[in-house]
Amino acid sequence: MSVNVKERLVDIRFQTGGPAAWKAPVMLVFACKGENPADNCPEIADAAPWFTIAPGVRDFSGDKLEQALFHGHPDLALPRVLALGLGPRESVTPDIFRRAAAAALARCRTLGLEGVLLPAGQFARFPGGPTRLAEETVCGALLGLYRFTRLRTPKEDDKPDPRRLTLGFTENSVPDGFHAAARRGEHAAVGVALARDLANTPPNILTPAALGEAAEELARRHGMACTLLDRAALAELGCNALLAVGRGSAREPRLIVVEYAPRGHEEDKPLIFIGKGLTFDSGGICIKPPQNMHTMKSDMAGAAAVLGALEAVALDDLPRRVIAVLPCAENMPDGDAMRPGDVVTSLAGKTVEILNTDAEGRLALCDALTYAQRNWTPAAVVDIATLTGACAVALGQEVAGLFTDDDALAERIAAAGRVVGDNYWRLPLWEPYQEHLKSEVADISHMGPREGGAINAALFLKNFVEPGVRWAHLDIAGTDWAFKKTPLSPVGAVGFGVRTLIELARGGV
Ligand code: BES
Ligand code: MN
Ligand code: ZN
């Protein structure tokens, strides 16, 4: 099985010299509520005077995500303007740029337009920093085009994506920072698209072995090292918790390790990302009810997010070492499956009593945590996992749980998430609940009561973190999947967390 990622979604270009020198089928103009749609873009008045006086501009109110298409003479170099509502000026955030740009590019695809020009002077009229807003807009624009079409026969009316997204400048050369910002936005979008592709791929196709192949392909694309540990290698090592999760499946588990270590940084303390990679979670012997069971094909969204982040890190050429450790398995019921009551010896040597075979993610993750800390001295370890329904119940589908005892790391992650639109809420690693993880027969039980389920899972993981290691756990259950389409994502995997991890790598922790 091979998962082919489009290396580039759309060609990102730059035009300088102002509107008199620009050329594109459509120009995108951001407009605030109650203002003239041309207010943020006065420089286009000369090139598109018909736009500023078009009768239709009076019907356009600038509400959030409102759109209006204005036509000039078809022979003009800039024959159309697509106005995009941002809502009231005082409430404009980077998020609305992402969403408006996403909706705009989707509209351009519907219209069959080949290229889109975005006058970049607009960004200076809003807080947030012009290059950051450009980055977010480029990323949003590309994500608005994302679709998962690999498994269906192309339809007659499937429209091709616009081929070009151009930033337009009034200056005679591209001002400092915009090339890099556009590239960062593009790389992030490529990373998110990879994560979505992987998490949307059905579980009969994306098996643990196939996820390993996808990781190998990613590594090959960027000259990274990739190690795949199969069932025999995991048994040899003693990863019995991860092996227990995969016992009921005809498809072997894998521990996937990808290392990005650019020249001169081979010996850095690595930033380590650990991603839960359950290619399907039926619940095992404690089988789940059938409603929504199919969404458990994305129980590897954590692993997918880590691979997506690594793609962007490599495209960025970041000068730091980043390592992915992905425990992957399929959780199935079977005559040889793990049972409630089983006790396994984890890689750390701790014996673990398994009470509910549906609490499998933490079993996979605990061995990955040990593996990471045994092999490297990490600068920080961040794990990301669709770990508990309890987290989704507590925080809903738009906010993920953030667990760490390290206040600085918590703030770093929350701040990174805020900038890119991955929202986190910190939940406590409430030490007294460790009591709940006591077992009569083993060193530790893998779960506590239903109450505080997300905390209990996080506390279980904490038992596998060595003292002094900076560690955070992101529970993305619920946030990883869109049940309704939004401008930034169709129904399905959204790639939650990819951009958070990219920001952590770019900015340092
Ligand atoms: N993969 C699930 C968690 C999940 C639920 C992710 C909903 C996304 C949406 C996880 O493996 C699981 O089944 N957890 C159990 C744990 C329980 C048995 C202690 C849960 O949350 O019910
Ligand atoms: Mn489960
Ligand atoms: Zn699971």
Contact, 316 vs 305, CB < 8 A? no
Residue 271 β-bridge partners: 322, 380
CB hemisphere CA count around 326 (13 angstroms): 36
Question: How many CA atoms, within 13 angstroms, populate the side-chain half-sphere of residue 243?
Answer: 19
**pLDDT given for residue 56 in this prediction:** 82
Question: Could you tell me which residues come within 8 angstroms of residue 443 by beta carbon, excluding any fewer than 6 positions away?
Answer: 350, 351, 352
Q: How far is the CA of 280 from the centre of ligand 3 (A)?
A: 8
Cα of 507 vs centre of ligand 3, distance in Å, is 30
pLDDT of 255 above 90: yes
**How far apart (Å, rounded) are the C-alpha atoms in residues 389 and 478?**
7
Model pLDDT for residues 179-209, shown as the tens digit of each residue: 999 999 999 999 999 999 999 999 999 999 9
Ligand positioned closest to the Cα atom of 329: 3
Question: From CA 430, how far away is CA 405, in angstroms rounded?
Answer: 10
Nearest CA to ligand 1 atom 22: 389
Mutate to test the pocket of ligand 1, among 297, 388, 450, 451 (most ligand atoms within 8 A of CB): 388
- Residue 139: C-alpha distances to residues 243, 251, 322, 403, 437 (Å): 38, 36, 22, 28, 43
Residue 388 near ligand 1, beta carbon < 6 Å = yes
168 membership: H or E segment, kind and range:
strand 164-168
Which bin fits 468, alpha (ψ -120 to 50), beta or left (φ > 0)? left
Beta-carbon-side half-sphere exposure of residue 507 (alpha carbons within 13 Å): 15
**What is the CA(283)–ligand 2 centre distance, in A?**
5
- The predicted structure's pLDDT at residue 5: 46
First to last CA, the chain: 35
Ligand 1: which of 279, 352, 355, 358 to mutate, judged by most atoms within 8 Å of the beta carbon?
358
pLDDT digit string, tens, across residues 18-48: 999 999 999 999 999 999 888 999 988 888 8
Residue 1, pLDDT score:
35
CA of 215 to the centre of ligand 2 (A): 23
Collapsing DSSP to helix, strand or coil, 314 comes out as helix
pTM confidence score: 0.97
Residue ranges with strand state E in 193-299: 225-229, 254-260, 271-275, 277-281
Mean pLDDT for 113-123 is 97
Establish whether residue 361 lines the binding site of ligand 1, counting it when its CB lies within 6 angstroms of any ligand atom: yes
Give the pLDDT of residue 307. 98
SS3 205: coil
Nearest CA to ligand 1 atom 3: 388
Question: What pLDDT score was predicted for residue 405?
Answer: 98
Residue among 79, 114, 102, 78 at smallest CA distance from 30: 102
Q: Which of 57-61, 193-197, 461-465, 487-491 has the lowest mean pLDDT?
A: 57-61
For residue 2, is pLDDT > 70? Answer: no
DSSP E strands in 404-505: the ranges are 423-426, 444-445, 471-475, 481-482, 492-493
User: What span, in angstroms and rounded, lies between the C-alpha atoms of 372 and 375?
Assistant: 5
The residue behind tokens 């196939």 is 210
Residue 4, pLDDT above cutoff 80:
no
CA separation for the pair 368, 158 (Å, rounded): 42
Does the beta carbon of 281 lie inside 6 Å of ligand 1? yes
Question: At residue 8, does pLDDT exceed 80?
Answer: no
Secondary structure (3-state) at 486: strand
Bridge partners, residue 43, by sequence: none
CA 480 to ligand 1: nearest atom: 8
Backbone phi, then psi, for 498, in 5-degree steps? Answer: -55, -50
- Spatial CA neighbour of 356 closest among 331, 322, 381: 331
At 387, which amino acid appears? Answer: L
- Look at residue 272 in the predicted model and tell me its pLDDT: 99
What's the gap in Å between 450 CA and the centre of ligand 1? 11
C-alpha atoms less than 13 angstroms from C-alpha of 212 in its C-beta half-sphere: 17
pLDDT tens-digit readout, 241-251: 999 999 999 99
Give me the active site residues, please: 288, 362
Determine which helix (DSSP H) or strand (DSSP E) holds 302, and give its type and residue range. helix 301-316
Nearest-atom number in ligand 1 for the CA of 296 is 1
The closest of 380, 503, 33, 2 to 212, measured between CA atoms, is 2
Q: What is the pLDDT of residues 42-93, one digit of tens each?
A: 988 888 889 988 888 888 999 999 999 999 999 999 999 999 999 999 999 9
**Residue 388 — φ and ψ, nearest 5°?**
-135, 135
